[in-house]
Structure 1
Amino acid sequence: MIQRLQIQNYAIIEELQLDFAQGLSIITGETGAGKSIVLGALSLILGGRTNSKTLFDSSQKCIIEGRFSIGNYHLQGFFEENDLDYDDELIIRREITPSGKSRAFVNDTPANLKLLQELGNTLIDLHQQFDTLYINNPTFQLELLDALADQREAVEQYGVLYQKLQRARRDLKRLHEEQATARREQEFLEFQVNEFEEAALVAGEQDELESEQHRLANADEIKQLTTGIFHYLNEGENAVSDQLGTIGIKLSALAAGDKHLTALNDRFESLRLELDEIAADLEAFGEDTEANPARLEEIDERLNMLYRLQGKHAVKTVEELLEIYEDLSGKLGHFANLDGDIKRLEKEQVKVTADLQKLGAALRKGRQKVAPGFSKRIKSQLADLSMENARLVVEFSELKEPGPYGLDEVQFMFSANKGSRLQTIKDAASGGEMSRLALVTKSLVASAMNLPTLIFDEIDSGVSGDVAQKMGLILTELAKHHQVVVITHSPQVASRADRHYFVYKQDKAGVDRTITRVRELNQEERVRSIAVMLSQNPPSDSALTNARELIEA
């Protein structure tokens, strides 16, 4: 509910603060005093559009701030979705600069007008004269019937199932699109995968093959060189090994008794032994190296195949080719599973649709059961408000498949006068008739629905006397379950107030300017204000008496 509305520099309002409470708040005042201007300011924090012409002082910015208690509105999900900080106390602020630029904030976080409108629709039902709002909305009409039928839980279950059906439909559409793509790509993928499988790639093989290829391609030269090196090291007249052996003997004799030379001798001996091993390995390598044209041809073919695959897939190693192979195999496997996934989702869709049909039928039964009683009560209450011939009929139409709210749509058909044909509410009701119909409708579902704060602007326009008295009683009942704010010219309605605010004009001292002010009336001020509405200013004694009787009643 709204707790406070602060307005600065708007229209003929220099600065104003209104504190609201639960129950029925009444706003009265002379015509032109600024009652509707207050609602205009409120509409701005609900996402309404404006410009710099609305500024009281064109050199200063306009600030409008609303403070709301939202603990019972279940808005945590909305705040999460929109990346906003949630608190049970909400502050919405709107600023308009002299240049006409506008900024909006939700709990000090910048927000756009669309977000304000979505949030505002949850917090405030601002029903101005000639404004249809909820009553003409088919979705609200369904919600209303479901509330009267006490089937909120079933509606929530249906909503969960419907979202599940929508997900299945989206997934099926995506899979069918993938399947169409798969049919075009599958043959090519299979060719590529087969090519990899025939290649039978082995990690690390390329280095080994390239090394073996080099050895076989240069077998004669390698054999000749290794044999020559071995001969030079071990078998020649001046073999290196013999010369090193002589040096070793001399160094060993010289090193006796000298630790530094002993260390050098050890290093020399290690080197000589290592060279002997190298010579032996070279001899063995040369002996094992034999020309093998058949094997060389086989290696060349294998390497050429690897190089071709690498060039085709723009990579340089067998390991990278293996990664590509795994990726292609995965895609091919995914395409192979598409048929199974599609069949599974089709079965799920059939089952969820059947569940929705069953639950939707139960919802329809509940709605159709309460619809006649609802129409009868509407007719009865409208008759009390001088609309004796008005009637409202709920028409049901069956959907071909489950919709977001059930298996049917509803339309409230209305006729205000005897002999008039039933039409949609927006086509059949005048502004005054619409106001009374909206009031009666909302009062009937007040205890069953979580309606936002209800604000009525001159909903009693064109009515007086007994009708206005009954309208005041309806508003009183409505305010037992919801916060209700009413702008009225009717003393009968004003007398029902839990809190009564009076809007008036005042000349600003020192400047030639009129400003709007608001004050909450005490009991005696209420009596006098209602007496003025009943008669004249100053009111007569009989008007004062009548006013007291209205309030006490």
Structure 2
Amino acid sequence: MIQRLHIRNYAIIEELQLDFAEGLSIITGETGAGKSIVLGALNLILGGRADSKTLFNPDAKCIIEGRFAISAYELKAFFEKHDLDYDAELIIRREITPSGKSRAFVNDTPTNLKVLQQLGATLIDLHQQFDTLYINNAEFQLELLDALAGQRDAIKAYREEFSRLQEVRRQLRQLNEEQAQARREQEFLEFQVNEFEEAGLVAGEQSELEGERHRLSNADEIKQLASGAFHLLCEDDNAITNQLMALSQRLAPLSDGDSHLKAIYDRFEGIRLELDEVATDLESFGDDAESNPERLEEVEERLSMIYRLQSKHAVTSVEELLTIHEELSGRLGHFADLGGQLDKLTSEQEKLTAALLKRGKTLRKGRQKVAPEFTANVCSQLADLSMENAQLVVDFQPLEQPGPHGLDEVQFLFSANKGGRLQTIKSAASGGEMSRLALVTKSLVASAMELPTLIFDEIDSGVSGDVAQKMGRILTDLSQHHQVVVITHSPQVASRADRHFFVYKQDKEGVERTITRVRQLDQDERIRSIAVMLSQNPPSDSALKNARELIEG
């Protein structure tokens, strides 16, 4: 709901402010006084095109600010999506500089016109001559039928399920793309994994194999060296171990009485015993060192395979190769899982589609059930508004697969004249006819669905008397559920106002310049203003009486 519109330095408006309220607000005034200029300013904060030529003072900035109460509009998600600060009271500001630069702000946060237009469409439904109205919008037409059928919760559940179906479809597309890529990679991955599995690598084997290769390659030399060393240590006439044993036997009795010598003896004995073990190991090592060309060839082949894998994968150890093997196996396993994931998502897609088909058929029944009565009521009310030959038909076109709004595409087809061809509303209706159709249509669903603030500009153009009276009654009924603002020349419509604004021109003192002013009329001023609309200025007594009766009636 719009609460306040403040305009400064726009067209012939120096500065003015309108404070709106719930119910029906009427704006009247002389032709050319600036009523359409007020709407032009409002259109700017809804994302309309800005032009520096419209500045009242070409050297100053134009500022238009609208204040809205938005707690009923469920806009938190929209504000989060566009990184805007949400508050139940919304302030939209539009600025135009003398250079022509335009800026827009939502709760003091700069924003672009696209966001402003989306937000504005939620807040204000502005009906001007030759505008494209919501009534032309297929999505709104479906929403209207669902509201009349009392299935707004059902369509909400449908859309949530359809949204999930869209997500499943997206995931399926992604997985199918991955699978296509997997097919291209899988053969190569399988080759690499098989190569690792055939290799049967074992952590630590490289160093063992390299040691074994060294021993096998030098077996004769090792055997000769080990035998010679053992002979020198244990078997020679002056064997080292024998000499060390003799020395140990001499040191032992001397060390018993001297702690320092005892420590030296203990160290010496440890070395002697260690050397005995070395001699034994050398003997054993030499005995085992046998030349084995076949085993050497096996070791060389195994190492060659390891070195080739290391070079291929740019690593230097078996442990790194084992890590790569694990990673490749994991990737191959992921590709193997794609089939299972695809089966699962395909099954979910089928279940969601079946559920949506069921929900969609229920929605279709509800829509088709209310459509005839709705169109009959529209045509009946249009006849009261001097459109006796108007026809409205709801054209249902079934969809093969569930769509975002059900199993149907819906289009309102309209003809304003007897025998006229049914066409889309935009093609068939003039600006005035379209406005009346929008008024009647929205009045029929006013209690069933949420609507933005409805602003009608000269919706009563070309009508008077009883027709204008009926139009005023429809506007009054509509304003019981939604905020309605009407710019009118009709006294019958103006008499219905909950709040009446009068737009007029005034010469500005001190300069040769005419400016637009607006004031809210009290009861006596309303009577006089409507009386002038009924007759002349100044109004006659009978016109004043008639105006009073219109207001009180």
TM norm structure 1: 0.89
1:288 to 285, 299, 310: 285
- Encode CA deviations 1:327-355: one digit per residue, 9 max, x unaligned: 32223223333333333333332322222
Give the aligned partner of residue 540 of structure 2.
540
Amino acid at match of 1:85: D
Distance, in Å, in 2 between the alignment partners of 1:133 and 1:72 is 22
SS at the partner of 1:512? Answer: coil
Q: CA 1:220–1:378 in structure 2 vs 1: closer, same or farther (change >3 Å)?
A: same
Amino acid at match of 1:115: V
User: What's the CA shift for 1:174?
Assistant: 2.7
- Encode CA deviations 1:179-208: one digit per residue, 9 max, x unaligned: 333333322221111111111222343344
Pair 1:171 & 2:168 matched: no
Distance, in Å, in 2 between the alignment partners of 1:93 and 1:223 is 98
Segment of structure 1 superposing worse, 229-238 or 51-60: 229-238
Structure 2 counterparts to residues 204-219 of structure 1, below 5 A: 204-214=204-214, 216-217=216-217
Structure 2 counterparts to residues 313-462 of structure 1, below 5 A: 313-462=313-462
Distance, in Å, in 2 between the alignment partners of 1:368 and 1:176 is 39
Distance, in Å, in 1 between the alignment partners of 2:225 and 2:25 is 111
- Ranges in structure 2 where 5+ consecutive residues have no aligned partner: none
Task: Confirm or deny: 8 A CA contact 1:24 1:496 kept in the other structure.
Answer: yes
Segment of structure 1 superposing worse, 435-444 or 125-134: 125-134
Distance, in Å, in 2 between the alignment partners of 1:337 and 1:447 is 53
Segment of structure 1 superposing worse, 417-426 or 448-457: 417-426
User: What's the CA shift for 1:321?
Assistant: 2.4
- Encode CA deviations 1:219-266: one digit per residue, 9 max, x unaligned: 6667778889999999998979969x89x989x99x979xxxx7x996
Structure 2 counterparts to residues 50-65 of structure 1, below 5 A: 50-65=50-65
SS at the partner of 1:418? Answer: coil
Give the aligned partner of residue 471 of structure 1.
471
Distance, in Å, in 2 between the alignment partners of 1:274 and 1:46 is 99
Segment of structure 1 superposing worse, 114-123 or 50-59: 50-59
Task: Confirm or deny: 8 A CA contact 1:234 1:242 kept in the other structure.
Answer: no
Task: Confirm or deny: 8 A CA contact 1:141 1:410 kept in the other structure.
Answer: yes
Segment of structure 1 superposing worse, 142-151 or 94-103: 94-103
Task: Confirm or deny: 8 A CA contact 1:158 1:360 kept in the other structure.
Answer: yes
Distance, in Å, in 1 between the alignment partners of 2:271 and 2:508 is 113
Task: Confirm or deny: 8 A CA contact 2:244 2:272 kept in the other structure.
Answer: no
Distance, in Å, in 1 between the alignment partners of 2:266 and 2:219 is 31
Pair 1:128 & 2:128 matched: yes
Distance, in Å, in 1 between the alignment partners of 2:144 and 2:298 is 83
Q: CA 1:186–1:31 in structure 2 vs 1: closer, same or farther (change >3 Å)?
A: same
Amino acid at match of 2:23: G
Task: Confirm or deny: 8 A CA contact 2:251 2:265 kept in the other structure.
Answer: no
Give the aligned partner of residue 505 of structure 2.
505
- Encode CA deviations 1:113-140: one digit per residue, 9 max, x unaligned: 1111111111111111111321111111
Task: Confirm or deny: 8 A CA contact 2:27 2:501 kept in the other structure.
Answer: yes
- Encode CA deviations 1:349-406: one digit per residue, 9 max, x unaligned: 2322222222111111111111111011111111111111112111212112221111
RMSD: 3.2
Amino acid at match of 1:71: S
Distance, in Å, in 1 between the alignment partners of 2:527 and 2:349 is 65
Amino acid at match of 1:69: A
Task: Confirm or deny: 8 A CA contact 1:227 1:283 kept in the other structure.
Answer: no
Distance, in Å, in 1 between the alignment partners of 2:89 and 2:382 is 38
- Encode CA deviations 1:41-94: one digit per residue, 9 max, x unaligned: 222222222132232223332222222211111112222222333222222222
Task: Confirm or deny: 8 A CA contact 2:451 2:482 kept in the other structure.
Answer: yes
SS at the partner of 1:389? Answer: coil
Q: CA 1:234–1:96 in structure 2 vs 1: closer, same or farther (change >3 Å)?
A: farther
- Identical aligned residues as a percent: 71
Amino acid at match of 1:201: L
SS at the partner of 1:72? Answer: helix
Task: Confirm or deny: 8 A CA contact 1:16 1:518 kept in the other structure.
Answer: yes
Give the aligned partner of residue 36 of structure 2.
36
Segment of structure 1 superposing worse, 268-277 or 350-359: 268-277
Segment of structure 1 superposing worse, 120-129 or 1-10: 1-10
Structure 2 counterparts to residues 1-150 of structure 1, below 5 A: 1-150=1-150
Instruction: Give aligned pairs, total.
Output: 545
SS at the partner of 2:456? Answer: strand
Distance, in Å, in 1 between the alignment partners of 2:177 and 2:9 is 58
User: What's the CA shift for 1:97?
Assistant: 2.4
Amino acid at match of 2:519: R
Task: Confirm or deny: 8 A CA contact 1:226 1:282 kept in the other structure.
Answer: no
Amino acid at match of 1:288: F
Q: CA 1:415–1:273 in structure 2 vs 1: closer, same or farther (change >3 Å)?
A: farther
Distance, in Å, in 2 between the alignment partners of 1:66 and 1:420 is 42
Q: CA 1:382–1:221 in structure 2 vs 1: closer, same or farther (change >3 Å)?
A: same
Q: CA 1:294–1:373 in structure 2 vs 1: closer, same or farther (change >3 Å)?
A: same
Task: Confirm or deny: 8 A CA contact 1:12 1:515 kept in the other structure.
Answer: yes
Q: CA 1:540–1:192 in structure 2 vs 1: closer, same or farther (change >3 Å)?
A: same
Distance, in Å, in 1 between the alignment partners of 2:163 and 2:516 is 50
Distance, in Å, in 2 between the alignment partners of 1:59 and 1:306 is 83
SS at the partner of 1:99? Answer: coil
Distance, in Å, in 2 between the alignment partners of 1:426 and 1:382 is 17
Distance, in Å, in 2 between the alignment partners of 1:226 and 1:123 is 100
Task: Confirm or deny: 8 A CA contact 2:443 2:474 kept in the other structure.
Answer: yes
Q: CA 1:265–1:186 in structure 2 vs 1: closer, same or farther (change >3 Å)?
A: same
SS at the partner of 1:47? Answer: coil
Q: CA 1:314–1:51 in structure 2 vs 1: closer, same or farther (change >3 Å)?
A: farther
Amino acid at match of 1:396: F
Give the aligned partner of residue 487 of structure 2.
487
Task: Confirm or deny: 8 A CA contact 1:502 1:520 kept in the other structure.
Answer: yes
Task: Confirm or deny: 8 A CA contact 2:30 2:503 kept in the other structure.
Answer: yes
Segment of structure 1 superposing worse, 103-112 or 506-515: 506-515
Segment of structure 1 superposing worse, 376-385 or 535-544: 535-544
- Encode CA deviations 1:478-512: one digit per residue, 9 max, x unaligned: 11101111111222111111111122223333333
Pair 1:527 & 2:524 matched: no
Distance, in Å, in 2 between the alignment partners of 1:439 and 1:224 is 115
Distance, in Å, in 2 between the alignment partners of 1:227 and 1:2 is 108
Amino acid at match of 2:285: D
Structure 2 counterparts to residues 125-274 of structure 1, below 5 A: 125-214=125-214, 216-217=216-217
- Encode CA deviations 1:288-323: one digit per residue, 9 max, x unaligned: 263555444333322222221122223333333223
SS at the partner of 1:18? Answer: strand
User: What's the CA shift for 1:535?
Assistant: 2.1
- Ranges in structure 1 where 5+ consecutive residues have no aligned partner: none
Segment of structure 1 superposing worse, 387-396 or 54-63: 54-63
Task: Confirm or deny: 8 A CA contact 2:397 2:410 kept in the other structure.
Answer: yes
Task: Confirm or deny: 8 A CA contact 2:382 2:388 kept in the other structure.
Answer: yes
Task: Confirm or deny: 8 A CA contact 2:226 2:285 kept in the other structure.
Answer: no
Task: Confirm or deny: 8 A CA contact 1:7 1:41 kept in the other structure.
Answer: yes
